[in-house]
A = this chain, B = another copy of it.
Amino acid sequence: MNTNVSPYEHPEVTVDLVIFTVNEQKLKALLVKRGEQPFAGIWSIPGGFLQTGESLEDAAIRVMQEKTGVKEIYLEQLYTFGKPDRDPRRRVITVTYFALIPWKNLIQPESKKVTDLAWLTVDELPELAFDHREILNYATNRLRTKASYSNIVYGLLPAHFRLSDLQKIYEIIIGRELDKRNFRKRMLATGLLEETGQKEIVGAHRPAMLYQFKKREFVLLD
């Protein structure tokens, strides 16, 4: 079979990522300011072309590491977008992933003076390139939905954390306040958490016990 005369298209395949973190009480996503046309100067989600011999997930991990320096993170495939006109130049299919990073695991992301890479608050976004707004909305919905029936938020927390940190993350993602006593009861009842024995020492108040997830992996609740 000669693939050069096949009656169908060989589109370009990219892998694009919606990378979330939580910082300053907000859900944020990593965005890249485009340098080239089309959409020069417009923010876009990070991505790259699939390389020869590379699996989709490997490509996602590669892009992740290029942009954040981090590779051990929560990563899951999101959706594949392929409308014929989603890139004005040519046919591009994009397989999208969504990723979660604890803010503390980032290596001082503000220190290097990059102006083309930024963590923007998800509900205050400017115009995005291509169909990236649709992709980002899709990812945000997925995150909010999964937070309600899984332990997915572990991906946004450092190894050790206070229960109040955990509660705050949930509140930011689902967008409403939770009752402290009920929250703690429910979380401890899942059996997914354990005390570290250490206590958080800063602040003019009673120190908090630090907890960790017994396993840092995705689990459905109930």
The residue from B1, B6, B51, B84 contacting A54, defined by CB atoms under 8 A apart? B84
Binds B, one of A23-31, A75-83, A179-187, A204-212: A75-83
Complex partner residue of A50 from B11, B51, B89, CB under 8 angstroms:
B11
CA distance A83 to B54 in the complex (A): 7
The answer to whether the Cβ of A165 comes within 8 Å of any Cβ in the partner chain is no
Chain B contacts for A53, CB-based, 8 A: 84
Contact with B along A44-74 (1 / 0, CB 8 A): 0000011111111000000000000000000
Chain A: interface secondary structure? loop
Whether A124 is near chain B, meaning CB under 8 Å from some CB there, is no
- A118: Cβ under 8 A from any B Cβ: no
Which of A49, A82, A95 has the largest count of B CB atoms less than 10 A from its CB? A82
A82 to B57, CA, bound (A): 9
In the complex, the answer to whether A83 meets B95 with C-beta atoms within 8 Å is no
Give Cα A91–Cα B53 distance, bound, in whole angstroms: 8
Q: Taking the complex as formed, is A9 at the interface, i.e. its CB lies under 8 A from any CB of chain B?
A: yes
Contact yes or no, B3 A56, CB < 8 A: no
**Contact for A56 among B6, B51, B54, B80, CB less than 8 A:** B80
Binary contact track A4-36/B, C-beta < 8 Å → 1, others 0: 001111111100000000000000000000000
* A112 at interface, CB cutoff 8 A: no
